[in-house]
Structure 1
């Protein structure tokens, strides 16, 4: 299963993207501001991660669905993200709800996503089903 996150609005205080799964649009994604401005997947040439307020670097990452120690429920987890640990896809409405995780929802308000709980559950169920069938799951952030 292939997820693709296409970032479409890089703002000073947040980032909005479109999430598709196997080529089909699913929902919007809210993230902190992008610091990997040259889109090469690393922080270089003066780019710096701001702890708790930086989007993950561009790139492709494997995903597993497992129990989050913080949230105590099954959530999709991105693996081997450079400079980041514990990057999840989880509910939330504003960048205050994330340190680097991907917040799914509907971008019907400036700098926010709505109906995030619905989208978290739907994505988690879909990815868990694929994982249980033995399908590899990855996300490309572009």
Structure 2
């Protein structure tokens, strides 16, 4: 299964995008601000957090790229959620519910972008996404900036 996240609004405080499953629109997303980060990060091996000066913790969106995704149990959310693997500069990146970029801490939030700077119906959307992904063994997400 292929997820595609097309970022369509790169703002000063948050980023809005559209999430597609196998080419079909699924929902909107909200993330932290996109910042230019070095291509590689020597500070995130073995689960250590990034100390690059360009990254602001809990205020920076993950870099564009293609990442493997698995459904993993989150102790914080107490349920299985999509986890992105080998994201430069980041550890523990999930796709989950929330309302604004301040809820994301680098993760991707799903829902409907019916209010400026927010997503609504996020928990319902997250549950639907989890149901769709839970049966899949090979999942990737391609994150791209653009219209």
TM-score > 0.5, shorter chain as reference: yes
| Mapping of residues 41-120 of structure 1, within 5 Å | 48-120=54-126
Match of 2:2 in 1: 2
Tell me if the contact between 2:95 and 2:108 (Cα under 8 Å) persists in the aligned partners.
Answer: yes
C-alpha distance in 2, partners of 1:5/1:55?
12
Match of 1:15 in 2: 15
Structure 1 residues without counterparts, runs of 5 or longer: none
Q: CA deviation at 1:110?
A: 0.5
Structure 2 residues without counterparts, runs of 5 or longer: 42-51
Task: Name the SS of the counterpart of 2:134 in structure 1.
Answer: helix
Match of 1:137 in 2: 139
After TM superposition, the score normalised by the length of structure 2 is 0.86
* 1:62-89 alpha-carbon deviations (Å, 9 max, x no partner): 0000101211101000001001010001
Q: Which stretch of the first structure deviates more once superposed, 2-11 or 47-56?
A: 47-56
* 1:29-66 alpha-carbon deviations (Å, 9 max, x no partner): 000000038xx8558xx981111110000000000001
C-alpha distance in 1, partners of 2:9/2:108?
14
Task: Name the SS of the counterpart of 1:6 in structure 2.
Answer: strand
The number of residues matched between the two structures is 134
Q: Quote the RMSD (CA, aligned, Å).
A: 1.7
